[in-house]
Structure formats: structure tokens, C-alpha cells
Chain A
């Protein structure tokens, strides 16, 4: 069965600093992968999705970017964080009924 790993679990970063969040998937090959963000008290917003290596689609114009350097690796990045980038970042894959990783809680201060 599929397992989605995310790290770190929590992160506190100053405004203007860079960001790199990693998602790796085990138990499947070439899955579609998704990055969602959940702001405090809000629903999940799709940020990026990827159907394969090097293939990235952006859903919302923003301060973030994504990359897929390997089949089972999906990375979310920013060059300069904003306060509004704070939130709970979740990686997901539709394999096995659309499951999520454990998430990274980012606080920008």
C-alpha cells in the first residue's frame, strides 16, 4: 500500500527566508501528486499538481513554486516567504482512494 512522507512536521521561518518542503511516496510508481494548503480554520486549497517527472501545473498564482525531480518526490519551494504563506501544507496522491501525508505546519513570523 502507498505511504506518503512529509517533512518537517513543523517549521517556523522569518519573513523573507526561503522554503523547501519535501514529499516522498512509497509503494507506488509515477503517481499523480498534489500540494494543498489549509489556512487556519479554512478548507483545503490546491496549490500545485504533477502527473510526472518535471510536469507541474499551478492552480493559484502565488509566492510558491513546485518541482518534481524524481518519480516519487514532490517539492514545494519559495525564495522569499510572506506572512500569508503560513498554513498547513499537505501532499496527496489519488492512489488508494486519495490519501494525504501527515503535513507540515508552517508559521511565518
Chain B
């Protein structure tokens, strides 16, 4: 059974701080790694995806991938109350293939 694990939270950070969200996966054959943000009652929005080991930055967001440790993380710099949402990690084996999701981490950014 291929699994993706996330801490359910809630993770609470003060406004302006760095939020760190973590995800581990069981399948060493996984090739693509995705982070989504989901507001209550809405569909997931793609934040970013990463294929290669190391860091990938997009604005206030940085994804970090370590395939040897089967670990992917998302850092949110200068966290804002509007970042309060559930963050979903997902992995797939091949480009265009099905995604396997973690349960999501609830993030709360306090003003």
C-alpha cells in the first residue's frame, strides 16, 4: 500500500513567521511531488510541484525534496492570515499518472 503521511495539525504560527509543513511517502518510485492549498469548502489549488532533489522557490513558497529520505516539505515565508487553510501533499509515480494524497495539515496563521 503506497502511503503519504502528513501531520494533521493544526499547526499554528504567528503572522510574519515561517510555516513549515512536512510530508513523507512510502514509494521510492515516486517521481513527482505536489503541494496544494485547500480552503474550507473549496477545491484544492496547486501551489507548486517539484521533481528534483533540492529546493524550488516560488514567491513566498519553497518546496524541498529529499528522495533519499523520502521526504518533501513546504515552507511559507512571511505567513499571512490568508494562508490559513489545509495543505495537501501528493505524489505520483509518473508524469500524468494518478496522485496519492496525504490527509492534509491544517495551518492557522494568527494576526
**Whole-angstrom distance from the CB of A61 to the nearest CB of chain B?**
16
**Size bin of chain A's contact surface:** 20 to 34
The answer to whether B103 touches A42 (Cβ under 8 A) is yes
B9 CB-CB contact with A under 8 Å: no
A78 CB-CB contact with B under 8 Å: no
In terms of DSSP, what is the predominant structure of the interface of chain A? strand
Of residues 30 through 68 on chain A, the ones whose CB sits less than 8 Å from some CB of chain B are: 32, 34, 36, 42-46, 49, 59
CB-defined interface of A92-103 with B at 8 Å, one 1/0 digit per residue? 101001111111
Of residues 56 through 86 on chain B, the ones whose CB sits less than 8 Å from some CB of chain A are: none
Of residues 92 through 107 on chain B, the ones whose CB sits less than 8 Å from some CB of chain A are: 92, 95-104
Looking at the complex, which one of A32, A44, A45, A88 makes contact with B96 (CB distance below 8 Å)? A32
Looking at the complex, which one of A32, A43, A94, A103 makes contact with B88 (CB distance below 8 Å)? A43
In the complex, A103 Cα to B45 Cα: how many Å? Answer: 12
The answer to whether B104 touches A43 (Cβ under 8 A) is yes
Contact partners of A103 in chain B: CB under 8 A: 42-43
In the complex, A94 Cα to B92 Cα: how many Å? Answer: 11
**Whole-angstrom distance from the CB of A73 to the nearest CB of chain B?**
19
- Can you list 6 pairs linking A and B with CB atoms under 8 Å apart? A43-B103, A44-B99, A46-B100, A59-B98, A92-B99, A94-B95
Interface residues of B (CB under 8 A from A): 34, 41-46, 49, 88, 90, 92, 95-104
Other 20 A-B pairs with CB < 8 A, given A45-B101, A46-B98: A34-B98, A36-B101, A42-B103, A44-B88, A44-B101, A46-B99, A46-B100, A88-B43, A90-B44, A92-B99, A94-B96, A97-B46, A97-B49, A98-B34, A98-B46, A98-B90, A98-B99, A99-B46, A100-B44, A103-B43
